[in-house]
């Protein structure tokens, strides 16, 4: 039975500590074919402030209780009530510690939700965040209950030679028959969501790491049989993460072993369980033949992210789930900084901002809007959002900008020192920076509490050698109904000369404080006056995207073109060019809608061509600059009454204009960037060259009259990055051609037994712009290799279509919406969490034109009217329609 919707809302203001503390947990888990038995000895103690008669109420979810003992004696039937989702025990000792033994019987094989204990390709594994531990045993399953754990696993040696749990290994040995056991001990008190066990026939990739203080740590990455050679890059990323966290934040690892297990069936990217990270195998397994450069970057990021959680999340955890951004925003900030240090800082920053605008901005501006630190939820699984993660990271970054690097580091040191071993809140976190920076962050804290993306409007006036900047901020009241007070907004900026140099910043008068190159805007409006002399400088505002805002800067086109060519700040160059391209595509799309032919500003096209060939910039940055905004991005710029067909035509037109202007030069550039027959290297510089070649490919290919050259490029590719860029261009630009069909068939034949590559094959076709896309989707849905049981496969097809095929999903006849809604209804019965996540693809339905709005609403209402929906999906649908 699913947890169907009960409409119950959890509120932050209702938080109170538990009546009982849990000091220690001893578990015995017997794994058998078809069932698992769990015996949990929970050492509890009534808190001094709890009444002597208060019962103990433990959480459960779909549980079957098979035994209950108190200090070794059976608990009588009058003393307890058990249901699948709750266990209440009365008459417990008023003082002192006692041990409650809870026995449960589970069925991992039929657990398709992938929460709690389940089997993935024969491997037993667990997922306990956010509330999965209650699917293993009755417990106080909340993050502020911290205990030490000792776990004994028993299983058949043949099916599970590897037995893992959190912490350090203690003992292992043989049992009667073909069974064996292992005992693991985790000395660090932790909340139940960090519990994990894994048992299966897995291959290890082993390494070692010595920490700064000399602790010798054994590192192991476990994969399914025969795949450990694909984990070498992940291992390298892990060791680099460990070194980085010591150097940058003074954080060392704290156990004798660090295990990672790669699993095929996983709802999210990965999970930071103490000493035993469990990963979606997509974020571990790589080789040049099957993985692209962005897969490599993704593995590096996720490995680092989970490792960094050991301090930000595990050693210091969250008091309650409202504080989720305390661990997630901070850990994303840390993984972004790691990538910036390991690769290229500007390229990383641009990619992060690009991702923020693509994912978080629509969330923050639509019906699923919520504050970074929410105050209510119905289903916590639905709050692992771009707002909590990515906007949460932006808030940490702003604290760093406001305090400066040194005070920020002191604040982090204080946080680690003061809250180690605790379950903390955002208020605790902010207090550390207030003390370290000797500053008041109470206005800044509004960023955590007020939902929505503020607009920052910049107006320039130049007169007699003086430049006046008028800064205005505005926050519209949105779906979340939170406040609209002005924020403390750190705005990094530069005044750039026509020679491309940053001028010294000399304010004459100002209604906002300026520190170095940062304006501290704290009011809704402020004017700043600068003495700049006879030449009007170029205003490079919001450098490095120092605050997550929608910028309205009515800057002359000529100034933008100049900044795109010479802003000394690489982010500024990218933003100037992106703004120009965005404006051009926005008006081209509107012209298409109105039936007027679209035109493309030759100066903008030329600026794109120039940045592609600018040898002064690293290739990865040039790739980002020359890539035209995607169709959803153009849709966001238009904002309302969106016509996806017009956008599609306008973007195609821009690509043709780019090809006409730059075609031959792009071909020359592509040839010069080729690594020829050199062996594949995953380093950032080589990846950057491949990225620029890939970014130029669509413009080169669209100019060709046949698909044959692209097909040849596909066939000759010696790595997945090049192969995928060629086949994507075939699918996008020559959808019905024989070459495209042959390439898809060849791709399938070569990789049909490789799950991760097959996901790419499904996504490629889900994003194809063919007119019969829904019919094609249904054929793929019936493909023997398609299954809703594997989240990656479901996301590849359904998510690929709903989020990656704007035209197909938003077909005016509503067939795209209906098809997706139907899939969600089916998936919900197996895996509510994944269904709910995919359903967020509908979040912008109100921005489309009237026929599409009506069709989307009908499909959503039809799905929402089912009476067997999970709480996860129902929560998303209700809010999306709300
Ligand atoms: N904490 C993990 C991701 C994660 C979140 C939720 C989950 O189930 C609801 C599972 C994993 C991370 O940030 O990597
Ligand atoms: Zn995380």
CA of 277 to the centre of ligand 2 (A): 11
* pLDDT tens column, 816-872: 999 999 999 999 999 999 999 999 999 999 999 999 999 999 999 999 999 999 999
CB 819 within 8 A of CB 778: yes
Distance CA 30, CA 36 (A): 6
CA of 90 to the centre of ligand 1 (A): 34
3-state secondary structure of 46: strand
Among protein residues, the one whose CA lies closest to atom 6 of ligand 1: 129
Find the mean pLDDT for residues 683-704. 98
Q: What is the DSSP string of 404-431?
A: -HHHHHHHHHHHHHHHTTSEE-HHHHHH
| Both structure tokens of 566 | 């010479």
Contacts of 63 (CB under 8 A, 6+ apart): 84, 85, 87, 104, 106, 134, 135, 137, 138
Distance CA 442, CA 431 (A): 9
CA of 371 to the centre of ligand 1 (A): 19
- Reduce the secondary structure of 4-70 to three states and give it as a string: ECCCCCEEHHHCCCCCEEEEEEEEEEEEECCEEEEEEEEEEEECCCCCCCCCEEEECCCCCEEEEEE
Q: What does the pLDDT read at residue 684?
A: 97
**E strand or H helix at 459, and its extent?**
strand 455-463
Q: Is the CB of 129 under 6 A from ligand 1?
A: yes
Half-sphere exposure of 346 (CA within 13 A, CB side): 19
Instruction: Beginning with the edge strand found earlier in the chain, give each strand of the sheet holding 80-83 in spatial order.
Output: 56-59, 86-89, 80-83
pLDDT band at 2 (very low <50, low <70, confident <90, very high): low
* CA-to-CA dists, residue 360 to 116, 365, 394, 767, 835, angstroms: 29, 9, 11, 22, 19
CB 220 within 8 A of CB 206: yes
CA of 793 to the centre of ligand 2 (A): 22
Distance CA 98, CA 120 (A): 36
Residue tagged 């069936």 (tokens): 265
Looking at the CA of 834, name the nearest ligand. 1
Among protein residues, the one whose CA lies closest to atom 13 of ligand 1: 328
| Both structure tokens of 90 | 């009365």
Burial of 686 (0-12, 13-18, 19+ CB in 10 A): middle
Q: What is the ipTM of this complex?
A: 0.98
Rg, the chain, Cα only: 28
Report whether pLDDT(729) > 80. yes
Q: What does the pLDDT read at residue 770?
A: 79
Domains of the chain: 22-201 (2.60.40.1730), 317-449 (1.10.390.10), 455-536 (2.60.40.1840), 556-703 (1.25.50.10), 752-882 (1.25.50.10)
* pLDDT tens column, 257-289: 999 999 999 999 999 999 999 999 999 999 999
Q: Count CB atoms within 10 A of the CB of residue 616.
A: 6
pLDDT band at 676 (very low <50, low <70, confident <90, very high): confident
**E strand or H helix at 290, and its extent?**
none
Contacts of 860 (CB under 8 A, 6+ apart): 817, 821, 842, 845, 877, 880, 881
Q: Count CB atoms within 10 A of the CB of residue 670.
A: 18
Probe residue for ligand 1, chosen from 190, 299, 381, 384 as the CB with the greatest number of ligand atoms within 8 Å:
384
CA of 697 to the centre of ligand 1 (A): 36
Q: Is the CB of 306 under 6 A from ligand 1?
A: yes
Distance CA 385, CA 328 (A): 10
Q: Is the CB of 131 under 6 A from ligand 1?
A: no
Q: What does the pLDDT read at residue 771?
A: 72
Burial of 352 (0-12, 13-18, 19+ CB in 10 A): buried
Task: Return the active site residues.
Answer: 306
Looking at the CA of 833, name the nearest ligand. 1
Probe residue for ligand 1, chosen from 127, 196, 271, 876 as the CB with the greatest number of ligand atoms within 8 Å:
271
Q: Is the CB of 106 under 6 A from ligand 1?
A: no
CA of 271 to the centre of ligand 1 (A): 5
Q: What proportion of the chain, given as a percentage, has pLDDT over 70?
A: 100
Among protein residues, the one whose CA lies closest to atom 2 of ligand 1: 271
Q: What does the pLDDT read at residue 713?
A: 98
Q: Is the CB of 330 under 6 A from ligand 1?
A: no
Torsion angle in degrees (nearest 10) through CA of 447, 448, 452, 457: 10
Q: Is the CB of 271 under 6 A from ligand 1?
A: yes
Distance CA 25, CA 22 (A): 8
Distance CA 551, CA 549 (A): 6
Distance CA 298, CA 836 (A): 23
Report whether pLDDT(694) > 80. yes
Find the mean pLDDT for residues 606-628. 98
Helices (H), ranges, 438-483: 446-449
Distance CA 239, CA 231 (A): 13
State the Cα angle at 121 between 119 and 124, rounded to 5°. 30
* pLDDT tens column, 182-227: 999 999 999 999 999 999 999 999 999 999 999 999 999 999 999 9
The length of the chain is 882
pLDDT band at 773 (very low <50, low <70, confident <90, very high): confident
Find the mean pLDDT for residues 452-461. 98
Among protein residues, the one whose CA lies closest to atom 3 of ligand 1: 271
Average pLDDT, the chain: 98
* pLDDT tens column, 858-881: 999 999 999 999 999 999 999 999
Q: What proportion of the chain, given as a percentage, has pLDDT over 90?
A: 98
Contacts of 672 (CB under 8 A, 6+ apart): none
Find the mean pLDDT for residues 690-713. 97
pLDDT band at 300 (very low <50, low <70, confident <90, very high): very high
Q: Where are the beta strands (DSSP E) in 594-650?
A: none
Report whether pLDDT(467) > 70. yes
3-state secondary structure of 5: coil
Q: What does the pLDDT read at residue 3?
A: 74
Distance CA 810, CA 199 (A): 44
Query: Which of 120, 10, 297 minimizes the C-alpha distance to 831?
Result: 120
CB 322 within 8 A of CB 282: no
Distance CA 369, CA 438 (A): 33
Half-sphere exposure of 671 (CA within 13 A, CB side): 5
Ligand 1 atom with minimal separation from the 115 CA = 8
Distance CA 364, CA 482 (A): 12
Ligand 1 atom with minimal separation from the 313 CA = 1
CA of 304 to the centre of ligand 2 (A): 10
| Both structure tokens of 751 | 């990789």
Report whether pLDDT(1) > 70. no
Probe residue for ligand 1, chosen from 125, 129, 190, 317 as the CB with the greatest number of ligand atoms within 8 Å:
129
Q: Are strands 197-200 and 538-541 parallel, antiparallel or unpaired?
A: unpaired
* pLDDT tens column, 69-124: 999 999 999 999 999 999 999 999 999 999 999 999 999 999 999 999 999 999 99
Burial of 163 (0-12, 13-18, 19+ CB in 10 A): buried
Q: Is the CB of 335 under 6 A from ligand 1?
A: no
Find the mean pLDDT for residues 743-748. 98
| Both structure tokens of 151 | 């776990």
CA of 250 to the centre of ligand 2 (A): 20
Instruction: Beginning with the edge strand found earlier in the chain, give each strand of the sheet holding 35-46 in spatial order.
Output: 73-74, 65-70, 97-106, 35-46, 20-32, 147-156, 179-190, 168-174
Query: Which of 234, 251, 141 minimizes the C-alpha distance to 191?
Result: 141
Find the mean pLDDT for residues 550-575. 97
* pLDDT tens column, 484-508: 999 999 999 999 999 999 999 989 9
Find the mean pLDDT for residues 433-461. 98
Contacts of 547 (CB under 8 A, 6+ apart): 394, 398, 456, 487, 489, 490, 491
Ion ligand 2: residue ranges with CB closer than 5 A: 328, 331
Q: Is the CB of 272 under 6 A from ligand 1?
A: yes
Distance CA 194, CA 705 (A): 56
């Amino acid at each position: 039975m699913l947890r169907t919707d009960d409409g119950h809302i959890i509120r932050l203001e209702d938080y109170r500590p538990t009546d009982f503390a849990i000091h220690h947990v001893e578990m015995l888990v017997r794994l058998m074919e078809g069932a698992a038995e769990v015996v949990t000895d929970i050492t509890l103690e009534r808190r001094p402030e709890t009444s002597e008669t208060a019962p103990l109420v433990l959480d459960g979810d779909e549980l079957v209780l098979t035994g209950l003992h108190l200090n070794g004696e059976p608990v009588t039937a009058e003393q307890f009530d058990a249901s699948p989702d709750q266990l209440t025990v009365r008459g417990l000792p008023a003082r002192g510690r006692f041990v409650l033994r809870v026995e449960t019987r589970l069925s991992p094989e039929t657990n398709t939700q992938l929460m709690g204990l389940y089997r993935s390709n024969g491997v037993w594994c667990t997922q306990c965040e956010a509330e999965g531990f209650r699917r293993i045993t009755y417990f106080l399953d909340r993050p502020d209950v911290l205990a030490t754990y000792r776990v004994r696993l028993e299983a058949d040696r043949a099916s599970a030679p590897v037995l893992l749990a959190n912490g350090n290994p203690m003992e292992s040995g043989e049992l009667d028959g073909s069974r064996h056991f292992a005992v693991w001990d985790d000395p660090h008190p932790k909340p139940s969501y960090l519990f994990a066990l894994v048992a299966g026939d897995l291959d290890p990739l082993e390494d070692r790491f010595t920490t700064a203080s000399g602790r010798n740590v054994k590192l192991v990455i476990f994969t399914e049989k025969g795949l450990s050679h694909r984990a070498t890059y992940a291992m390298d990323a892990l060791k680099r993460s460990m070194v980085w966290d010591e150097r940058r934040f003074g954080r060392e690892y704290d156990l004798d072993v660090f295990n990672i297990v790669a699993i095929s069936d996983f709802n999210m990217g990965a999970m930071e369980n103490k000493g035993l990270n469990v990963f979606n195998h997509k974020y571990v397994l790589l080789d040049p033949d099957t993985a692209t450069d962005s897969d490599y970057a993704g593995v590096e990021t996720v490995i680092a992210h989970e490792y960094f959680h050991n301090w930000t999340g595990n050693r210091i955890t969250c008091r309650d789930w409202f504080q989720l951004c305390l661990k997630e925003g901070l850990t994303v900030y840390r993984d972004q900084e790691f990538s910036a240090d390991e690769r290229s800082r500007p390229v990383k920053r641009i990619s992060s901002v690009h991702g923020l605008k693509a994912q978080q901005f629509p969330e923050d501006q639509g019906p699923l809007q919520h504050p970074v630190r929410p105050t209510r939820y119905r289903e916590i699984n639905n709050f692992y959002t771009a707002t909590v993660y990515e906007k949460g990271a932006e808030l940490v970054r702003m604290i760093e900008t406001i305090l400066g690097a040194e005070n920020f580091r002191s604040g982090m040191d204080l946080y680690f020192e003061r809250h180690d071993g605790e379950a903390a809140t955002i208020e605790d976190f902010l207090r550390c920076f207030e003390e370290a920076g000797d500053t008041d962050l109470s206005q800044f804290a509004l960023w955590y509490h007020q939902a929505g993306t503020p607009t920052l409007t910049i107006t320039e006036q130049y007169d007699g050698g003086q430049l006046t900047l008028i800064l205005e901020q505005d926050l519209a009241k949105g779906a979340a109904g939170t406040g609209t007070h002005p924020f403390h907004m750190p705005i990094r900026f530069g005044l750039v000369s026509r020679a491309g140099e940053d001028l010294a910043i000399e304010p004459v008068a100002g209604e906002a404080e300026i520190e170095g190159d940062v304006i501290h805007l704290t009011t809704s409006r402020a004017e700043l006056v600068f003495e700049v002399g006879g030449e009007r400088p170029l205003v490079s505002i919001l450098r490095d995207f120092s605050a997550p805002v929608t910028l309205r800067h009515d800057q002359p086109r000529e100034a933008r073109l100049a900044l795109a060519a010479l802003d000394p700040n690489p982010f500024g160059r990218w933003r100037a060019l992106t703004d120009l391209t965005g404006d051009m595509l926005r008006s081209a799309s509107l012209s298409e809608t109105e039936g007027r032919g679209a035109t493309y500003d030759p100066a903008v096209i030329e600026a794109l061509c120039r940045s592609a060939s600018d040898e002064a910039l690293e290739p990865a940055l040039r790739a980002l600059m020359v890539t035209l905004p995607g169709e959803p991005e153009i849709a966001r710029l238009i904002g309302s009454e969106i016509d996806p067909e017009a956008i599609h035509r306008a973007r195609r037109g821009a690509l043709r204009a780019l090809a006409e202007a730059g075609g031959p030069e792009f071909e020359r550039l592509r040839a010069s960037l080729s690594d020829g027959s050199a062996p594949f290297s995953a380093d950032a510089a080589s990846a950057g060259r491949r990225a620029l070649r890939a970014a130029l490919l669509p413009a080169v290919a669209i100019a060709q009259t046949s698909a044959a050259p692209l097909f040849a490029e596909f066939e000759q590719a010696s790595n997945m990055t090049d192969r995928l860029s060629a086949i994507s261009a075939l699918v996008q630009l020559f959808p019905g051609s024989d070459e495209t069909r042959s390439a898809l068939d060849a791709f399938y034949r070569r990789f049909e037994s490789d799950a991760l590559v097959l996901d790419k094959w499904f996504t490629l076709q889900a994003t194809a712009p063919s007119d019969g896309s829904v019919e094609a989707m249904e054929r793929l849905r019936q493909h023997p290799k398609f299954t809703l049981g594997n989240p990656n496969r479901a996301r590849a097809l359904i998510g690929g279509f709903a989020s990656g095929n704007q035209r197909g999903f938003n077909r005016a006849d509503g067939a795209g919406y209906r098809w997706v809604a139907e899939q969600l209804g089916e998936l919900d019965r197996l895996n509510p969490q994944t269904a709910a996540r995919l359903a967020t693809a509908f979040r912008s339905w109100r921005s489309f034109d009237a026929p599409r709005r009506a069709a989307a609403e009908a499909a959503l209402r039809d799905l929402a009217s089912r009476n067997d929906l999970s709480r996860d999906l129902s929560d998303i649908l209700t809010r999306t329609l709300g």
